[in-house]
Chain A
């Protein structure tokens, strides 16, 4: 029990009863209020302000006008009075009325003539109950706040764990997870999945010439551009590592993937980001496009990598579509592109 003295409110239409109950509670050392009107009682119970420090309400069951039951129901409709202990003051032989009072939210009762020791004991018990319930509610509110705060932090952590810190797009971890899910979906439903792996051309030279801060800014520019080129909610734009990016396109066939690849090349060409180390003088990318429609037993990632490899060896600044495995993994593909291999590039300006 806190050191704050108990606060008891007596609601009874009889001035005699109010005076006698107050006297009976004398030994409790409580602060006792016994207003003469129900409106004053409503004020003490904070019906308008929504707050009260009353610990126990001693309520006469039968009163003229608004009787105790009606008043009790009125109080219980207020959220801040849900935990207030209410002790009904009744005469004997009112069992049916008491049943109604308990149904309306009364906690206990005392009968007239009221014995001071009984009244004090029941009032003290009722006050303890009120304070315990209020303390629990406060703890629950604190717990809810903490839970909300933890949930928010967890969401931030989850977001951070799947986001590339430099570019703000998905990181490798998120890409791996999305690719696994996409391939599962493809295996289950046959949904076409296209993967584009792309790499900034001559990026080492870029860093060596302009410095790493400029290199970081370049990565950010390219990431933003890639995101603009993959606007569908089902597309994933990820930083795969270093200057390498991946675009995962769901429900997209090879033709659709090549359309996106062309869009990237065109957008970057139009952007003309200066690149002193590039033969063209601006930042370009090479892209490898692979679709589950054609990859068969070859993994989609491997196929896209091989196509990117071909794009690099074909002179960069363009896209290759994967149509068949390389003869020797790791070796440059010397064959000219077949008609089935869609090659995209932009002529130098």
Chain B
């Protein structure tokens, strides 16, 4: 497989992971674990292809999702919605090895302000 094939495959899988993350925004409790796995896989896959913006955003989402599901919507849910929008935009322009885009950096910075969860 060529690098382009891998990138295309990434785009296909990432769309599924993004759908899981969007579901989190609507169902923050029931969709919690699936969203964690999606963020984790997205982070790893992006790292493999050196897609830095997606990797960084996904890494912060994974960190915030790493604890047990909360009883109600987390405080960072609005920022998570913006992160999903950012990821969607990034998926439209996949550039392996490029520096993170400005929107990705801004979302990353906002997510970074929230304390992470703790695993049970």
Interface of A toward B, CB cutoff 8 Å: 13-17, 19-20, 23, 62-64, 91, 93, 96, 112-114
- Is the Cβ of B48 less than 8 Å from the Cβ of A16? yes
A-B contact pairs, 27 of them (CB 8 A): A14-B41, A14-B45, A15-B13, A16-B9, A16-B10, A16-B13, A16-B45, A16-B48, A17-B44, A17-B48, A19-B5, A19-B6, A20-B48, A23-B1, A62-B40, A62-B41, A63-B37, A64-B34, A64-B37, A91-B40, A91-B43, A96-B119, A112-B45, A112-B47, A113-B47, A113-B50, A114-B48
Chain B residue with minimal CB distance to A19?
Answer: B1
Interface size on B, residues (CB 8 A): 19
Question: Which residue of chain A has the shortest Cβ distance to B11 in the bound complex?
Answer: A16
Give chain A nearest CB distance to B92 CB in angstroms. 18
- In the bound complex, CA of A266 to CA of B41 (Å): 94
Q: Which residues of A contact B40 (CB under 8 A)?
A: 62, 91
CB distance from A28 to the nearest CB of B (A): 17
* A112→B50 CA distance, assembly (Å): 10
Option from B9, B10, B37, B63 in Cβ contact (under 8 Å) with A62? B37
Closest-CB distance, B12 to chain A (whole angstroms):
8
Give the complex CA separation of A114 and B45 in angstroms.
10
Cβ of B9: which chain A residues have Cβ within 8 Å of it? 15-16, 19
- Whether A113 and B48, one on each chain, are in contact in the complex, defined by CB atoms closer than 8 angstroms, is yes
Q: Which residues of A contact B6 (CB under 8 A)?
A: 16, 19-20
Using an 8 Å CB-CB cutoff, how does the interface string of B38-58 with A read, 1 for contact, 0 for none? 001101110110100000000
By beta carbon, the residue of chain B nearest A18 is B9
Cα-based distance from A14 to B9 in the complex (angstroms): 10
Which interface residue of B34, B40, B44 has the most chain A CB atoms within 10 A? B44
Q: Which single residue of chain A is at the shortest CB-CB distance from B37? A: A64
Known contacts A17-B45, A96-B119; can you find 10 more A-B pairs with CB under 8 A?
A: A16-B13, A17-B44, A19-B1, A19-B5, A64-B34, A91-B43, A93-B63, A112-B45, A112-B48, A113-B48
Task: In the A-B complex, list the 5 residue pairs whose CB atoms are closest, starting with the nearest.
Answer: A112-B44, A113-B47, A16-B9, A62-B40, A64-B37
A119 to chain B, nearest CB (A): 11
- B-side contacts of A17, CB under 8 Å: 41, 44-45, 48
